[in-house]
Amino acid sequence: MAAPGNAPIAVDLEGISGSGTADTNALLRAMLRASKQVSDLIFSPGRPPQVEVHGQLLAVQVSGLHSLTADDTRRIAAQLIGNNKQAIASLREQGSCDISYGLPGLARFRVNVFIQRGSCAVVMRVIPTTIPDCASLHLPPQIADVGNVRNGIVLVTGPTASGKSSTLAVLLDHINSEHCYHIITVEDPIEFLHNHKKSTIHQRELHSDTPNFALALRAALRQAPKVILVGEMPDREIMEIVLEAAETGHLVLSTLNTVDASKTVDRIVGSFSAAEQQSVRERLAKTFRYIISQRLIPKADGSGRVPAVEILKSNARSRECVECGEQPGKTLLDVMRAGQSEGMQHFDNEIAKLVHAGVVDLETALLYASNPTALGQELASN
């Protein structure tokens, strides 16, 4: 268990050969033993190794490695990168690189190595070795209905570290388990490993399997997939290909770092020139099926975080809002409020439920609300 507050966690490290020369894998294992709830591992010069647990950084006291030096973090980065020439080139030319790394039988990581103040720093996101389900992630059960969508675009959105990758993995696993499809994923890097079930699934990793998203996606359109998962949509070019894929009968799943359904539409439309935007609105209105947005909110008892999930579903009213733009009385929030019988829900109503259930306290709820004033008034009146 993690130590209370920000107190350092003392762990034993097997495999030390001397101060500052610990075997990287032994160090990673030791840090994972600090808590069953570790989400990230962080290595920074001048700091001890750290783990993130429930959104809080905790120092890990490892014998022989009290505070990392620039040489320590450089050595850790080098051992994680190995002979990955693309990653080495990216680190040299762009100042950062993304890779995946695994401890066989224990854990996998999404790793970002970057240069800061002339030295290396490393952040490692822990990827579970088993694919979660809706219940274990406390996701609303109607999300499983996404697995029955036959074509179009399904987006999972939210800020960094809000659980988007885990939710995508749940959706993809449901499709893989229930349908005999060909599935192709393009990820940077591959996170959850999916085995063939009813579907045949091929996972491609940026740099090691393909040089960029655009080439992989255009190739995927010739590889007869029914489902395409794109780890993210970083720019206009990828958004254009995703729209094209959805228009030609594919089901496309992807993510965006946007805070809610309305901002997601704005982000996509705003990525195109003014002359293209109305056409993009029309195309998006016809092809989007779900926009699922989520926020991880700290629990009142300090035991972790719970998701608040917003679900926008395609229907006549939501398509009109996307195509024509939101207007007073005709917003996507209005659509979600009116669409509860269809499985839609919106953030502040879900946050209010968490407060009423005693899962989240009022002060925290207002910090994560879309409209704190309205939510505060609603809770005060109940």
Task: Considering only residues 148 and 128, tell me which one the structure prediction assigns the higher pLDDT.
Answer: 148
What pLDDT was estimated at residue 12?
42
pLDDT for 18-52, tens place per residue?
333 348 898 999 899 988 889 999 999 999 999 99
If you average pLDDT over residues 206-232, what whole number do you get? Answer: 93
Q: What is the bridge-based pairing of β-strands 152-157 and 182-187?
A: unpaired
Domains along the sequence of the chain with CATH:
9-127 (3.30.450.90), 134-345 (3.40.50.300)
pTM for this entry: 0.83
What pLDDT was estimated at residue 11?
42
pLDDT for 90-128, tens place per residue?
999 999 999 889 888 888 899 999 999 999 999 999 987
Summary mean pLDDT of the chain: 91
Contacts of 114 (CB under 8 A, 6+ apart): 91, 95, 96, 97, 120, 121, 122, 123
Quick check: 124 and 41 in contact, CB under 8 A? Answer: yes
What pLDDT was estimated at residue 277?
98
Is the pLDDT confidence value at 253 over 60?
yes
Strand partners, 206: 210
| Closest alpha carbon to 343 in 149, 173, 142 | 142
Quick check: 63 and 26 in contact, CB under 8 A? Answer: no
The alpha-helical segments, DSSP class H, found in the chain are: 24-32, 70-81, 85-94, 134-137, 164-178, 213-220, 236-247, 261-270, 277-287, 316-324, 332-338, 347-356, 362-368, 372-381
Quick check: 125 and 136 in contact, CB under 8 A? Answer: no
If you average pLDDT over residues 140-169, what whole number do you get? Answer: 94
The position carrying tokens 């320590």 is: 72
Instruction: State how far the Cα of 271 lies from the Cα of 266, in Å rounded to an integer.
Output: 8
Is the pLDDT confidence value at 16 over 80?
no
Task: Considering only residues 382 and 24, tell me which one the structure prediction assigns the higher pLDDT.
Answer: 24
In eight-state DSSP terms, residue 144 is G
pLDDT for 57-67, tens place per residue?
999 987 777 78
pLDDT for 163-210, tens place per residue?
999 999 999 999 999 999 999 999 988 889 999 999 999 999 887 899
Is the pLDDT confidence value at 294 over 80?
yes
Is the pLDDT confidence value at 212 over 70?
yes
